[in-house]
Amino acid sequence: MDHVQQFYIGGQWVAPRTDRTAEVIDPATEEPIASIAMGGADDVDAAVAAAKDAFESYSLTSKQERLDLLDSIIAVYSRRMEELADIISREMGAPLSLSRAAQAVAGLGHIAATRAVLADYEFERQMGTTLVVREPAGVCGLITPWNWPLNQIACKVAPALAAGCTMVLKPSEVAPLNAVLFAEILDEAGVPAGVFNLVNGDGLGVGAPLAAHPGVDMVSFTGSTRAGIEVARAAAPTVKRVAQELGGKSANIILDDADFAEVIARDMAGLCTNSGQSCNAPTRMLVPAARMDEAAAIAVEAARNIVVGDPRAETTTIGPVVSATQYSRIQQLIEKGIGEGARVEAGGPGKPDGLETGYYVRPTVFSHVTNDMTIAREEIFGPVLVLIGYEDDDDAVRIANDTPYGLSGYISGGTERARAMARRIRTGNVHLNGAPLDFNAPFGGYRQSGNGREWGEYGLDEFLEIKAIMGHDA
């Protein structure tokens, strides 16, 4: 890691224009592993200027040139996969096994999926005498989170490159080291100078000036709903396009004809993946009210099988949450749930036995939760499941939709019944009977979960403007 005290601007590793730094903390040890440079408005100005200069030529490159560039990135990324997995595990606490199998792989998956979309993408369409052309949106500000860092970086950078855009990336200052490695990969792969730029920093110092910058044509943001609102406010005076993937409080409906033992155990384990730090996690499990105690017993047993511990240990299921701030918020919400009358079936406040150092959270199961409780309304972002009872299918749909969010949903049970219910759930995604994510399908949410879509063809569409050339074939 030779460049943690530099930014990547205009195809060069350059010194920051400020003297601010921040420590990157290993959440398993609570010790710093690196100190990064923190940028400011002047660094943003330089990066946007470089991207603007590069746009004139890069926006005119051919589809084949962009395909070749993505192929080069895929080759270099594949060679450095182990480095990426290792640094993600160290900076945000994911078990090394998860970093290898999912965190690092997700980034490569999005690049490869975008490459496949680009190969068959039609940028022009004839409509009578009018030619409709899809053109690159321009200079893009990309702001990404810490929880699935390469997943979110790659699903923005790859389609932006495929569209012919240039960009400035601000990754999370909590887990920025993987982004530095990613910039090294793009540099080695031969991305033209100024097409991709990296400036580290926090939301106030870099995120806000990037979103507000008059030289930025589009902002793509992933993070909390609260921060997304601030990004939209900053972007509004320049009327730039803003695409947002924000928070969630996804309902997971277990129908009465589902195999409770299999499905609840599967979904408790799935919720706890990445220590519960996923915006689309199935955190509200809706079960028939008459079977609440049965469902709780199965969830408790599944929680006992989750091994919390050192991310480097082969037996670890989940590592720590990312930071002291995140740990404190989760503890406050667990206490809030207890105070509001939810029943703690497993876990609860405090750290697991024997894990005094590190931001470790006990896998927690709450039962007899009502949908008006804080733990059913707010995104906890930790390994915490809430069980809510419903009376019938209509009641389950009502509870599922009774949320300000709308990112994802889950339904397990008879196929036709689940399909019909999926059409009634007001979310951007619905998973039926444990179906996994699909990198070619659109990802994004309704309401306060954001706007726009990422991944696959729909992700590429976001980075394109539409022009009508009338009389083209008169």
Cβ contacts of residue 465 below 8 Å, gap of 6+?
A: 134, 135, 136, 137, 138
DSSP 448: G
Q: How far apart are CA 135 and CA 165, in angstroms?
A: 9
Give, rounded to a whole angstrom, the gap between the first and last alpha carbons of the chain. Answer: 58
Q: How far apart are CA 216 and CA 116, in angstroms?
A: 27
Is-contact 7 28, C-beta < 8 A? no
The catalytic residue positions are 245, 279
Cβ contacts of residue 367 below 8 Å, gap of 6+?
A: 292, 293, 295, 296, 299, 342, 343, 345, 387
CA–centroid distance for 224 within its chain = 10
Alpha helix segments (H runs only) across 190-242: 208-212, 225-235
Q: How far apart are CA 339 and CA 373, in angstroms?
A: 10
Longest Cα–Cα distance in the chain: 77
